[in-house]
Amino acid sequence: MSVITAAPPTQAPPATRAKKHRSPGRWVVLAILLALLLLVIAPMLVITVNAFKTPADYANNGPLALPESISFQGIIDFWERIDFTRKLFNSLVTSLSVAVLGVLLSVFNAYALGIGRVRGRIWFLVFFLVANLLPQEVLVYPLYYISKELHLYDSPISIIIIFTVIQSAFGTYLLTSVYEEFPRELLDAAEVDGAGRWLTLWRVVVPVSRPTLAVLFTFFFIWTWNEFFLPLIFLVSNDNQTVPVALGVLQGDRLMDATTTSASGLIGILPALIFFLIFQRTLTRGITAGAIK
């Protein structure tokens, strides 16, 4: 006589159990986040759609309709009207120079304050913190006077120097807090191997803090690219203007129509967006490395 035993109940896999226990509140939060995302990118989508319209298409169908046919005339008119190639070159040179020089100056300052522990370091940090809090409007007249005296007014060099100092104030304050917690074992090992301060900086400190430096480089580039107020004052010649200044000046042009304006907004933000997407992984790695530490 055979005995039939009941098989033990099978348990649902973890993924299935997780789906069963999802509360409705989770979906509500996801829906709200999705709505906020659409709200943020909606203006960019409208600008992109209108940049590829003809003026007649825009006038007949409005700004929210899809274009009847793809037209690049607005982009071409904008590019030729402001000599965008020249403005793009000016912004790239300025932003890259400030990003590189700002990171270098921040490293030197933070190395002296965070690892070297110079006297009065607290007052130096207070000075850099206050420098970060000063609005640019307060700096306009002193910087204008100095640039005139040094014959640097209406020169990209003046903007590079100004923003290198401004950005490095933030970079110094941030890196100093990082270098204060730098592993002393690495510094002691470098000293035992006979490395001086200069060699220790480039062979030990900089490689270890490379993720943080990459984050600073990305931020400095994007911040400098988007600057408008100081470049508007210090770069008065058309050949020296950057992209944001050219866009701001162009908005007052009576020959500008809606499609050309949309093209200007799209092309103006596109280089910074491409740069951010290229360095997105570097930025994520830098932030993650700081969080893990």
Question: What is the band of 63 on the pLDDT scale with cuts at 50, 70, 90?
Answer: confident
pLDDT digits (tens, 9 = 90+) for 172-193: 988 988 898 888 898 888 888 8
The per-residue pLDDT for 11 is 56
pLDDT of 203 > 70? The answer is: yes
Low-confidence winner among 120-134, 143-157, 194-208 (lowest mean pLDDT) = 120-134
**CA atoms of 140 and 132, how far apart (whole Å):** 15
Q: Give the pLDDT score at 148.
A: 93
CB 235: neighbour CB atoms within 10 A? 22
Which 8-state DSSP code applies to residue 240? G
Average pLDDT, the chain: 84
Q: What is the pTM assigned to this prediction? A: 0.81
CB 151 within 8 A of CB 223: no
pLDDT in tens, 10-28: 555 554 554 555 577 888 8
Q: What pLDDT, on the 0 to 100 scale, is given for residue 284?
A: 67
Cα dihedral 186, 190, 191, 192 sign? positive
Q: Residue 292: which pLDDT band, with cuts at 50, 70 and 90?
A: very low
Whether pLDDT at 59 is above 60: yes
Instruction: Return the pLDDT at 285.
Output: 66
